[in-house]
Chain A
Amino acid sequence: MDDRMKQAVGLALAEVFETMFFTLLEPMDAIPSRAEWPAGKDFVAAEISYVGGGKSGELRFYFPLTLARSIAANFLGEPEGELSEGQIVDTVRETVNMAVGSMLGRIDPAGECALAIPQARMVGDFTPEAIIADLGLYVFRTSFGYLWLVYDMVTA
């Protein structure tokens, strides 16, 4: 991922996390070592794509369930224990929508790119091993574990 894109994604995600969920997000300069990876394999995976103006891209996010649950609780003002799986998944889906929409506002001021409808789902067997070799891998540290992002970008 080039530096401009990296910065745009990082700023957009940080803005969403801080404004909507009161959660700090720190971009990592390097991929964390395996020893730092989470023990749990419960994640919420989300995907969103955009296309237009000679550009297209697909972003895949992997939220640890602890992080997803925490942001959903902050967003809805409900105790974590009372959240349904649907509310958690929908919060992640909306987070991805807001973050990538905000990113496009930065990299595509002419509004040529159209955002697709995001998708999100629970996954019970995810390990970062599956994406570690991806060139567009980007990792953020939060108080609730690492947020993993793979950004496949195509520019015509």
Chain B
Amino acid sequence: MFNILVVDDSETMRAAIRKVVGMSGVPIGEFLEAGNGKEALAVLEESWVDVILSDINMPEMNGIEFLKRIKAEEVYSNIPVIIITTEASQARMDEAEALGASGYVKKPFLPETIKMILTDVLESAYAQRMKEIPAAPPVEEADEDMDF
């Protein structure tokens, strides 16, 4: 199960994303929400999050500043961040990618686009996590002649 944090100043957009994610088939644990980057940082302090979907154009702390902040914190830096935004210029997408965003979805979006990118990002994050777990020592085969 994956915990998902959606950061968007529009409550209706968060509700719409919740619906799309719910229909995506991705196993969801908790669906967490924040109205801007500042609120999202507070959520991260309290809850385990597997993936973040964040808007850019938000009051208080925008998505680019939020991305910079979490990539600078060792404890959060491995959480994949997917940017979902209206700001669709190539320059903005390149900036988000350079800051460590794992994906970029342009609003308006089709539900299939969210599903595809979320699945891809979670699969790569899961594979990466598996690689990082140290391999267990080989289990020695039991000696057949061993007497108990």
A137 within 8 A of B: no
Q: For residue B10, which residues in chain A have a CB less than 8 angstroms away from its CB?
A: 90, 93-94, 97
Evaluate contact between B87 and A101: CB separation under 8 angstroms.
Answer: yes
Contact flags A1-39 to B (C-beta < 8 A → 1, else 0): 000000000000001100110000000000000000000
- Give the contact stretch, choosing among B40-48, B65-73, B89-97, B126-134: B89-97
Q: For residue B85, which residues in chain A have a CB less than 8 angstroms away from its CB?
A: 101
- The list of the 3 closest CB pairs from A to B, nearest first, reads A101-B86, A111-B91, A105-B88
Residues of B within 8 A of A (CB): 9-13, 15-16, 19, 57-59, 85-92, 95, 106-110
What are 27 sample pairs from A and B whose C-beta atoms fall under 8 A apart? A19-B109, A19-B110, A20-B108, A75-B12, A76-B12, A90-B11, A90-B12, A91-B12, A93-B10, A94-B13, A97-B10, A97-B86, A101-B88, A102-B86, A102-B108, A104-B88, A105-B89, A105-B106, A108-B89, A109-B90, A111-B90, A111-B91, A111-B92, A112-B91, A115-B87, A117-B9, A117-B58
Given contacts A93-B10, A111-B95, 17 further A-B contacts (CB under 8 A): A90-B10, A90-B11, A91-B12, A97-B86, A101-B85, A101-B86, A101-B87, A102-B108, A104-B89, A105-B88, A108-B89, A109-B90, A110-B91, A111-B92, A117-B9, A117-B58, A117-B59
